[in-house]
Amino acid sequence: MWQWRFQPKASCCAEDSSLRAELQVVADRDGVDALYEKLLNADPVSASKIDKRNVRRVIRALEVIAITGRPFSDQRKKSQPDFDYKIVGLTLPREKLYARIDARVDSMMTNGLVDEMRALLAKGYDWHLPALSAIGYKQIGMSLRGECDLDEAVRLIKHDTRRFVRQQYNWFRLNDPKIKWWDAEGVKVEEVVGWLDG
């Protein structure tokens, strides 16, 4: 299973928004399998490490390959940062975390998430922007397009946020020796600062 790594920003930051848009059209028209096949042919190493359902990552890899003429995998070599660092993790028991998620989503709804989404659309922002596929915006967008009612959208926001939490717990493992974990409810800021300074 792939493990996260702390690393500096990739040296290759090449971007081409028009190429990215063309690749998105290919994905929409021909399906993600067709796009993934292009990556498999161009850079099998990257293809083996990228989940083909992650359309954005597939597109990004193809974009960088097209711009640089080099495999994406060659440009993603891990390097050690040239500075010391410590990693702090905050955790809560799952049931408390889920209760906080539910309360946060309810608060977002009370504070105008639907109106915020309508305002963004009125300003000309497109449904397909990556930012509007974020948890919360995505589900409210579904409701505004008539794909589900508002209650179902709220349920989906809570469900998808919980799923994201589970993914994060798989990504940042509690037994990872590189991370110092603290109970988010019981820890004092001074305690964490003391550890960081130590």
Encode pLDDT of 93-119 as tens digits: 999 999 999 999 999 999 999 999 999
Secondary structure element (H or E) that encloses residue 91, with its range: strand 87-91
Global pTM?
A: 0.63
The domain made up of 17-76 has a fold known as Histone, subunit A (1.10.20)
What does the pLDDT read at residue 102?
Answer: 98
Q: Does the pLDDT at position 92 exceed 60?
A: yes
Q: What percent of the chain has pLDDT over 90?
A: 48
The domain made up of 92-176 has a fold known as Helix Hairpins (1.10.287)
Cβ partners under 8 Å of residue 56, min gap 6? 130
- Angle, helix 113-122 to helix 94-110, in steps of 10 degrees: 60
- List the domain boundaries for the chain: 17-76, 92-176
State how far the Cα of 43 lies from the Cα of 74, in Å rounded to an integer. Answer: 9
Q: Taking the CA atoms of the chain, what radius of gyration do you get in angstroms?
A: 20
Q: What is the mean pLDDT of residues 152-179?
A: 92
Encode pLDDT of 168-198 as tens digits: 888 888 888 989 999 999 899 999 999 999 8
What does the pLDDT read at residue 13?
Answer: 59
What does the pLDDT read at residue 198?
Answer: 83
What does the pLDDT read at residue 52?
Answer: 83
What does the pLDDT read at residue 3?
Answer: 46
Encode pLDDT of 115-144 as tens digits: 999 999 999 998 888 889 899 999 999 999
